Structure 1
Amino acid sequence: MRAPLWPAVDPGSSRAPLESDLLVDLLVVGGGFTGLWAALLAARRDPGRRVALVEAGTLGWAASGRNGGFVSASLTHGVANGLARWPGEMALLERLGRENLDAVEQTVREYGIDCGWTRSGELVAAVRPWQVAELRELVEVSGRLGNEARLVDGDGARAVANSPTYLAGAVFPHSTATVEPSRLARGLARAAERLGVQIFEGSRVEALRDEGSRVAAWVVTGLPVGSRHRWGTTETSQKSTPVREFTVRADRVVLGTGVFPSPLRRLRLFTVPVWDHVLSTEPLGDRQWDALGWKGGEGISDAGNQFHYYRTTQDRRVVWGGYDAHYYFGSDLAQRRMRREQTEKRLAEHFFTTFPQLRGLRFGHVWAGAIDTSTRFTPFWTPALGRKVVSVQGYTGLGVGSSRFGAQVALDLLEGAQNERTRLTMVRRPPVPFPPEPLRWAGIQLTRSALARADAENGRRNRWLRTLDRLGLGFDS
């Protein structure tokens, strides 16, 4: 089936679009994890606050419902990336990340969110000899930063999951949980609504205007996602639904638009959409499940530059993604990019190389989604319109967990709070933007090729990658 696994498991319920002008204290733009966390946290902080969330499509339909369901404690896209950028703050960042993951788990339990939450930790597997030394260093550094981690040999790695490709592994028993992301999104929405948050689907914010004490958001309904509209026109959508226009006025605004073009045009060079592809097997039979030997539900990834990530589900499927990430010229987000048969075949080949005992198993779901990638691989925050608006984006594949932290910091900034979160260099300084086309496309393709070459040459980074490292730039998913 050429559709994501998660929405098929939990289709959820639709919500009506905006039907009138609105006046609120806080407007949240975007119904992915960032927006849902912002709405829920805002309502919890101030129960009397009028909060509305508007989503152009349906809740969690994009990256928030198309990922592999890993909830990581890392706020920095891994220890190595964080140390390269903020070495003096890394211990604090790791502690904040652990606290954030604990808070996600507490919320799931408090609101009884049925999302398959499993706090089973992570294995990072070495599948090439050069990766073993890197994992040893990773474990040592992680321990110094307060994380529980241990290095295991090949037998120890295969005790987690039975793959002949494993040479060693780094085990992080508490750093990661797995979830069914669509159900998590729906559960967060229901929790927010119980606290009085109004949620509107099919309602797209086209522009923001500073009105002094407030911000006016121009909202359009009746349009398919990805279409364009000009204020005051009378065109209709492809479904012959009348296009309607409304204004939401808000004291404060959180923008959680993710990979999609921001209403703040100056932010559009700070992220690129990276298409990531995922396969999900059919449920395994008893013999297949026993042969797999993966009973703990750990999240697993390998230690390459081009890496796979994979996990099991409660109904004994294996979800397998990553490795072959793609950027298309002009930041193309067209739906045709959701299928790439060459990548799907390559992922399937790699799956059976990793688990040859499952050869012949069918893949029940195949899908792709676009990741909002920044040059530093971590989220960034941008105040605008007299600090009445804060945008957060650029999670680069780890947003299922760090989106809560992103939303938390966005609310802090809107409130003018001074705390250990808002004083972080990661929060105060933006990443370097990507260059405009055609340099953007050429640079990303060169980087992808160099990363593949590094994997093939014992991890050695060529002059191009070393230059990017010195400049603090990169490309990843």
Structure 2
Amino acid sequence: MPDPIAYDHRLRRPRAVLAAALADAAPVAFWVDSPLRPAARPALAADIDTDLVIVGGGYTGLWTAIQAKERQPDRRVVLLEGKRIGWAASGRNGGFVEESLTHGPENGELHFAEELDVIARLEKENSVEFADTLVRYGIDAEYEHAGMLTVATEPHQVADLRESGEQVWEGAELERYALSPLFRAGTFDDTTALVHPAKLAWGLAAAAVGLGVEIFENSPVLALERSASGVVLKTPSGVVRAAAVALATNGFPSLLRRLRLFTVPIYDYVLMTEPLSAAQLAEIGWTGRHGIADSGREFHYYRKSQDDRILFGGYDAVYHRGRRITPAHDQREETFLRLADHLYDTFPALEGTRFSHKWGGMIDMSTQLVAFHGSTAGGRIAYSAGYTGLGVGATRFGASVMLDLIEGRDTERTRLKMSRRLPVPVPPEPFAYPLIQLMRGAVARSDRNGGKDGLLLKAAGMFGVGFDS
């Protein structure tokens, strides 16, 4: 059937109409805009000695802290967070807990073809252990094993879905999941779960403290130095001397300077609607709790909150010259207008629906589109970074790898390529900005050209370099 519209960067509705719908949207992530947010824990105020120090209070650091105490209850574990627990990507993401560790089968084939059977088993184990941990510690993260609908919005995407080997829904079968003039076909992944991102971070932190982990907030690490017995970390108000350190800073500049070119900070943006009525959801056919994503290279992701708001994000992936990370980039009105326009394209019955929140923030992207893990200094310093928007579930796995490396364990996790080699680096400035803009343009052209990659994307793929919104 002919597609009446296609996603692009042009606004189909008057800017004034879209701006009016966004006028009352709070410029903060919906998830952290909550009276449930815990009070900040004290900052480090004295010098201390510890067995393990973790830098970063997002998912990666919190999972590392919990598992470190589970493995060795008598181990002293200290976690340093520069601001607040879960304030960055861990508190403002979409809350999709994907089982995949490879960013989809095609990316897995490109980078880890000979390891896919092992990875598939480890993915399932990690997913089960993720859910079991929430039950074990009574963490109310609004966990829902709801599944994920991936939809084709253009003809070539239908062909791609059919080639995936998954059951493809069309017509009335597809309409059981949602009604949209854009949806041509879809596949359903029943392994994906949903969570409240900030409540997950807060719950993990509480569980860690319950196990004896010492968490210090508003304690940025200014320097890392090696010592004869381990590492020394300096903060504004105290020094931590530790036998080992786990670096969980992801997209922020690594304390290991040699790692700084292996991630690049990309800004992603999100809208949250006002609560929708049961009648409105019935009109768009989205009465289930599953999430939805379209299958373009510049893709959108959307889901419902517990109170039936629609979170709608993605499409734009914005890199700011110089790898700059600043709160000023968390708001981008042009992208918010575009996302509002696209939501109305997707569900015309919701046109005029207003938005309660609009936010953005940095995620870390690696050129292999999945995380890499490793260690240095004889295993005293471990790191895990580059999750590229796939970190809600995968960070637990990364934490396991870091602890294996620190403890000197030879495991299936540490033998994976993602744990033994670094991805292709992103060049420094002044080369990074024009190169990333070229890649963004190539991705957009691929979507417009029936999914056919141009020479740039083909050449990049030959060198193991990927880029998605």
Using structure 1 for the length normalisation, give the TM-score.
Answer: 0.91
| Residue of structure 2 in register with 1:275 after alignment | 267
| Residue of structure 1 in register with 2:387 after alignment | 395
| Residue of structure 2 in register with 1:364 after alignment | 356
Residue in structure 2 matching 1:102, options 123, 128, 134: 128
How far apart are 1:368 and its partner, in Å? 0.1
How far apart are 1:80 and its partner, in Å? 0.8
Tell me, yes or no, if the aligned pair for 2:53 and 2:242 is still in contact at 8 Å.
yes
| Residue of structure 2 in register with 1:143 after alignment | none
Question: Does residue 7 of the first structure (1) align with residue 32 of the second (2)?
Answer: yes
Equivalent residue letter for 1:129 = P
- Distance in 2, matches of 1:39 and 1:401, equals 16
Secondary structure of the residue that 2:453 maps to in structure 1?
A: coil
Question: Does residue 263 of the first structure (1) align with residue 255 of the second (2)?
Answer: yes
Question: Does residue 455 of the first structure (1) align with residue 447 of the second (2)?
Answer: yes
How far apart are 1:353 and its partner, in Å? 0.5
Count of matched residue positions in the alignment of Structure 1 and Structure 2: 443
| Residue of structure 2 in register with 1:155 after alignment | 172
Tell me, yes or no, if the aligned pair for 2:80 and 2:216 is still in contact at 8 Å.
yes
RMSD over aligned Cα, in angstroms? 1.1
1:35-54 aligned at under 5 Å gives the runs 35-54=61-80
- Distance in 2, matches of 1:47 and 1:316, equals 41
- Distance in 2, matches of 1:295 and 1:417, equals 47
How far apart are 1:78 and its partner, in Å? 1.0
Deviates more, 1:11-20 or 1:362-371: 11-20
In structure 2, list runs of 5 or more residues that go unmatched. 1-25
| Residue of structure 2 in register with 1:144 after alignment | none
Secondary structure of the residue that 2:222 maps to in structure 1?
A: strand
How far apart are 1:154 and its partner, in Å? 3.6
- Distance in 2, matches of 1:346 and 1:29, equals 36
Residue in structure 2 matching 1:191, options 207, 210, 222: 207
Deviation string, structure 1 residues 281-331 (Cα, Å, up to 9, x no partner): 000023212213222211211010000001011100000000011001001
Question: Does residue 73 of the first structure (1) align with residue 65 of the second (2)?
Answer: no
- Distance in 1, matches of 2:288 and 2:66, equals 31
Deviation string, structure 1 residues 367-424 (Cα, Å, up to 9, x no partner): 0010100010111113122320001100000101100000010000111111111111
Tell me, yes or no, if the aligned pair for 2:232 and 2:242 is still in contact at 8 Å.
yes
- Distance in 2, matches of 1:292 and 1:114, equals 29
Tell me, yes or no, if the aligned pair for 2:37 and 2:202 is still in contact at 8 Å.
no
Deviation string, structure 1 residues 430-449 (Cα, Å, up to 9, x no partner): 10111111211111100100
| Residue of structure 1 in register with 2:111 after alignment | 85
Question: Does residue 317 of the first structure (1) align with residue 309 of the second (2)?
Answer: yes
1:415-426 aligned at under 5 Å gives the runs 415-426=407-418
- Distance in 1, matches of 2:124 and 2:246, equals 24
Question: Does residue 303 of the first structure (1) align with residue 295 of the second (2)?
Answer: yes
- Distance in 2, matches of 1:378 and 1:75, equals 7
Residue in structure 2 matching 1:181, options 189, 197, 206: 197
How far apart are 1:339 and its partner, in Å? 1.2
Tell me, yes or no, if the aligned pair for 1:62 and 1:369 is still in contact at 8 Å.
yes
| Residue of structure 1 in register with 2:434 after alignment | 442
Tell me, yes or no, if the aligned pair for 2:374 and 2:405 is still in contact at 8 Å.
no
Equivalent residue letter for 1:431 = P
| Residue of structure 2 in register with 1:234 after alignment | none
Residue in structure 2 matching 1:118, options 136, 140, 144: 144
- Distance in 1, matches of 2:290 and 2:201, equals 21
1:402-421 aligned at under 5 Å gives the runs 402-421=394-413
Question: Does residue 374 of the first structure (1) align with residue 366 of the second (2)?
Answer: yes
How far apart are 1:197 and its partner, in Å? 0.3
Tell me, yes or no, if the aligned pair for 1:154 and 1:169 is still in contact at 8 Å.
no
In structure 1, list runs of 5 or more residues that go unmatched. 141-148, 221-243
| Residue of structure 2 in register with 1:201 after alignment | 217
Amino-acid identity (%): 48
Equivalent residue letter for 1:193 = V
Equivalent residue letter for 1:2 = P
- Distance in 1, matches of 2:235 and 2:446, equals 46
Deviates more, 1:446-455 or 1:85-94: 85-94
Residue in structure 2 matching 1:210, options 195, 218, 226: 226
| Residue of structure 1 in register with 2:186 after alignment | 169
Using structure 2 for the length normalisation, give the TM-score.
Answer: 0.93
How far apart are 1:474 and its partner, in Å? 2.0
Deviation string, structure 1 residues 81-136 (Cα, Å, up to 9, x no partner): 01111111112212211221111111111111111100111111000010011112
How far apart are 1:157 and its partner, in Å? 2.4
Tell me, yes or no, if the aligned pair for 2:304 and 2:310 is still in contact at 8 Å.
yes
Secondary structure of the residue that 2:389 maps to in structure 1?
A: coil
